[in-house]
Structure formats: structure tokens, C-alpha cells
Amino acid sequence: SFDANKIKQLSAKHPKSPVTYTYGTAGFRTKADVLDSVLFRVGLLAVLRSQSHNGRTIGVMVTASHNAAEDNGVKLVEPLGEMLKQSWEAYATSLANAETEDALLKALENIVQKEGINMSAPANVVIARDTRPSGENLVAALKDGVAALGGNLTDFGIQTTPQLHYVTRCINTKGTPEAYGEPTNEGYYAKLAEAFKRLVGGKQKLAQFHVDAANGVGAIAIRGLLNAIGGDLTATIVNDNINDAAKLNHDAGADFVKVQQREPVGLKLIPGENYASLDGDADRIVFYYADEAGKFRLLDGDKIATLAAGFIMDQVKAGQVTINGAPVKVGLVQTAYANGSSTAYVKEVLKVPVEFTETGVKHLHHKAEEFDVGVYFEANGHGTVLFSKAAIQAFHTTHGQKEEQQRALRILRALSDVINQAVGDALSDLLLVVAVLVNQGRTFAEWDSAYTDLPSRLEKVKVKRRADFVPTDADRRLVKPEGFQQKIEAVVAKFNKGRAFVRPSGTEDVVRVYAEADSRENADLLAKTLCDLVA
């Protein structure tokens, strides 16, 4: 089995802090200064995960996304770019919390035994990190962990989260019929740029674009992408200072814009121009603009989802694409946070079926795989579109009779290349949105006019034990505390178009309260009333 002495020796360099860790929705995420031992142990786990896949490459991303600069985190990526298989999350937690080196060895043995891992199988791990200063030392700990179990490691350097997912998928599919692309940065930029150019080439461009890079790694990536695209997309980039850690996500980025419902620092909105904000690791994006009155208007994940679903539906119809004689099934996956207006619009106007899952990308991703074309976005701007193998094949083999049909098929083929299939990707989503609007000849304001968001309010409440709040029905109701759901519903019933839910956070020690209603005042009042009920 493994070399216990070597593990102990290296583990001694990375002593555990007196902290209880949990591998949650965002992997491990907390203050960077208590993560050293966690990174070492994640290195161990990555080797085992690769061995359990017979040496296929596992990705490890070191990032704390939209959180403050002094935080950091780490998550594992499965061979095709998906989030770590859920049953392995508990293994990650068990390794991270082992108090002694002997306990750590025992936890390792337990995984090897339960999973029947062949310890002589090869192990390959590819890693990357965001721009956080703490990343460098954390990566060193991660490397020690991989070395302790004798795995091969490739350090991909400073990259966005989606770039790491992309490269993981490319490495594992290279030379197969599912080959995803060149496992390099250049390959990533070239793939997106080429598909984007097929979608927009020769068409009228959108008005001036501005991208807020949250002073994070997205600043590097968006430059690389724009370079590869050339004249077909130009944008000014703001908040691109990656050398001053204090600026990371500070009053900028997708999370700030979505939560504060306002433009980031460094941008003064000009009516008629277009804006987007990335988050700190560039896997989330939101769009916005100023209307004629100069008022800030947000185009969040729900708006992106409806734009994509509507456009793809149109192309599938025009392309007359079928799979085994049946029309291609396009579906949308949302969470409880999706604005009620967006759900109604998708069901009633677009006539696209909508499914709900719990919060967190992995849940949406799995649900989306059930459709031929599954669109999923969280309201916060995390998301992508998944095309099944059969759908992609149908786009390539359907023989278009008329030019209109051929055009739709060309668009569908290009869309399946421009949209990152491995994971939600702010840059890929940016190209998707621009390509759709260019093809529709629409502006941000016209896109926005499809439906009007109901006013909503998101609050958080500190409670003694958030575990007392047990959600069900895709986070939309509570089964515990006993009788609490009825109380919520009694309050909600008093509000016109009222909808609300309470759920424990998966990433912070709080309970979240979401409310929407027919007016700003009512949404605020509903949220406030429920916060008082929770506290």
C-alpha cells in the first residue's frame, strides 16, 4: 500500500489547525491561514481519486472565488470537468479533520479500502490557482500531498477556475472521439474565439462593451481571449489590478454587482453602452446597463438563462433537429433564487420546461444532463448550457434543406463549441450572450424587456445552529424546525405575488432568507418579517 513514513514526514510540515473543516458546495473555503494542512491532504485525496479512475487526470483548483483576499479555498475536479463526486466529499472532510498523523493514515486506508483502490495504479493531477497571494504557499502544500503518494503533478499556474476545468477535460479526452480541445491556454482561447467568430462574423457589432474583472485572474484571461478574437469583439477592461490583493473583489465583481444592485467602483454607466462583471475566479458573470433615465439595470443569471434557452429553442426549431425521430428536448434548470418572473416567462412564453434543484452548481449540472440541451444558471450568474452527445451528433448529421435550416444548424454547432461544457465559465458565457444578441440584432435594453423582475431581497441571519434548518423540495421549503414552514407560509400569504424561502447556507455559518413580492417595499418587508421570525 502506501509509504506511511513518507506521508508522516511530509505531513509534519503541514500541521493541522484546531479547526473543523467541511468540504461543502464550494469545496473547502475559509481563511487562508488555516488551510495549509487541508491543501496537503487534498493532494493526497487527488492522487487516490485519480487512481480510482485508473490514472485519469484529476484537477485541483485553489481559489476563494468572490470572497475577500484573505480567504482561500480548494476544490477537486473530476476528469470531464465536473465537480467532485458527492460520495467523495465526505472522504475529503475526513482527511481534513484527522487530528494526528496516525488518524490521517487511518482515514487514507479507509478510503482505499472502501473504494477498492489499486495503489499501484498511476495518478495524475493538474492544478491551478487564482491571484490570491496565499495561493503560492498553499500550492506548495498541495504539491507535498501529491508527492507523498507518488502522484504526477502538472502545475498550470495562475488560471481561472473554468480554464482549469477545461484543461482537465482536454487532457482526459485527448485522442478520443470526444476530444475537447488542446490542453493549453492558447487552445482554450483559440477554441472559444474560433467558435465565436463563426457566430458573429460579418454581423453588426454590439455597442461599446466594458468588462469589470474584479481585480482578479479574469483580468488576465479576458485579455487573452480578446487577443485571440481580434476585431470581432472589443471591450475596455476595468478593475484589472491583480497586484494589489486588497482590491480583489472589493466593491467590484459579479457578486458585488448582483448583491448591491449597482455598478462596481471604476465604472460610470453611460446609457447605450454595455457592461459585464466577472467574479474573482471568472466562473460567474452578470451584465448590466443604464436605461435612458440613467437607472442601473441588472441582467443576472436568470436573464442569461432565458436569453440562451429562447435562442436555442428558436434554432432547434428552425434547424428541425430531431433525435431518434423526436424533437430535441431543450430544458432549463433553476434554483429557488430564480426570480418568479423568469420562471413564468420560460414556462409560459418560451414554453421550455423548467426543473428546480438545490443551490450549487453540481446539482444544476446533473439535472441539466437529463435534457438533450440543458440550460442551467443560478441567479448569481453561475451557469452554462450542456449539449448531450446525441444532440451534438444531430447538429452535425442533420441535412439542412433550406438555407434557413442550414443556418440554424451552423449556429447550433458553433454554440456547442463556444459554450464551455466542462463548467460554467464567465468568458464563455460572455461570448454566448454577445453572439445571441448580435444574431438577434437586439440591445441589452431589448433583451431586458422580455420580462420584468419581481422586486426581491436576500438577507442573512446568524442563528445558534443553522443545522436546525432542514430544507426540502429544492430548498424551497423547510421540514425543520417543526411547524416553521407553516409560519413562513402564513406570512407570505399576506403579500401580493409573495414568495419566500429560508435555507441554511452551505458556505457560511448563517441562514439565508429570500423574499420577493409585487413592490420593493413589500419584498423588503416580507424579508424583514421572516428574518425576525428566524432570529
Binding segment (CB under 5 A) for Zn ion, from list 273-281, 357-365, 413-421, 501-509:
273-281
Nearer to ligand 16G, 360 or 374 (CB): 360
Regarding 272 and contact with ligand 16G (CB under 6 A), the answer is no
Regarding 360 and contact with ligand 16G (CB under 6 A), the answer is yes
In terms of Cα–Cα distance, which of 88, 102, 76, 122 is closest to 7?
102
Nearer to ligand 16G, 66 or 413 (CB): 66
36 binds, among Zn ion, ligand 16G, none (CB under 5 to 8 A by kind): none
Catalytic residue numbers read: 65
279 binds, among Zn ion, ligand 16G, none (CB under 5 to 8 A by kind): Zn ion
Residue 379 CB, nearest distance to ligand 16G (Å)?
9
For residue 508, what is the DSSP state? S
Regarding 216 and contact with ligand 16G (CB under 6 A), the answer is no
Residue 360 CB, nearest distance to ligand 16G (Å)?
4
> Which of 37, 50, 52, 65 forms a contact with Zn ion (CB under 5 A)?
65
Gap between the Cα atoms of 484 and 260, Å rounded: 29
Nearer to ligand 16G, 71 or 453 (CB): 71
Residue 506 CB, nearest distance to ligand 16G (Å)?
3
Gap between the Cα atoms of 89 and 87, Å rounded: 6
> Which of 232, 255, 263, 283 forms a contact with Zn ion (CB under 5 A)?
283
In terms of Cα–Cα distance, which of 332, 317, 325 is closest to 370?
332
Task: State the number of CA atoms in the 13 A half-sphere of 436 facing the CB.
Answer: 25
Quick one: residue 310, left, alpha or beta (phi over 0 = left, psi -120 to 50 = alpha)? alpha
Please return the burial class of 338, using the count of CB atoms within 10 Å of its CB with bins 0-12, 13-18 and 19+.
buried
Nearer to ligand 16G, 440 or 505 (CB): 505
Alpha helices (H) in 336-494, listed in sequence order: 340-344, 361-368, 389-397, 403-418, 426-440, 444-448, 484-492
Regarding 281 and contact with Zn ion (CB under 5 A), the answer is yes
Regarding 378 and contact with Zn ion (CB under 5 A), the answer is no
Residues within window 461-520 making contact with ligand 16G, judged by CB under 6 A: 505-508, 512
Cα 30 to its chain centre, rounded Å, is 18
> Which of 7, 11, 14, 26 forms a contact with ligand 16G (CB under 6 A)?
26
Gap between the Cα atoms of 67 and 266, Å rounded: 19
For 110, the grid coordinates are 479507509
Regarding 135 and contact with ligand 16G (CB under 6 A), the answer is no
281 binds, among Zn ion, ligand 16G, none (CB under 5 to 8 A by kind): Zn ion
Cell numbers 490514472 correspond to what residue? 55
> Which of 42, 138, 290, 361 forms a contact with ligand 16G (CB under 6 A)?
361
Gap between the Cα atoms of 283 and 381, Å rounded: 8
| Element of type H or E holding 99 | none
Binding segment (CB under 6 A) for ligand 16G, from list 40-48, 242-250, 288-296, 377-385:
377-385
Residue 509 CB, nearest distance to ligand 16G (Å)?
10
Task: State the number of CA atoms in the 13 A half-sphere of 264 facing the CB.
Answer: 31
Cα 141 to its chain centre, rounded Å, is 25
Alpha helices (H) in 201-322, listed in sequence order: 218-229, 253-260, 301-318
Regarding 378 and contact with ligand 16G (CB under 6 A), the answer is yes
Regarding 367 and contact with ligand 16G (CB under 6 A), the answer is no
> Which of 359, 388, 421, 485 forms a contact with ligand 16G (CB under 6 A)?
359
Regarding 425 and contact with Zn ion (CB under 5 A), the answer is no
How many secondary structure helices (H) and strands (E) does the chain include? 18, 21
Residues engaged in binding Zn ion (CB under 5 A):
65, 279, 281, 283-284
Residues engaged in binding ligand 16G (CB under 6 A):
25-26, 359-361, 378, 380, 382, 505-508, 512
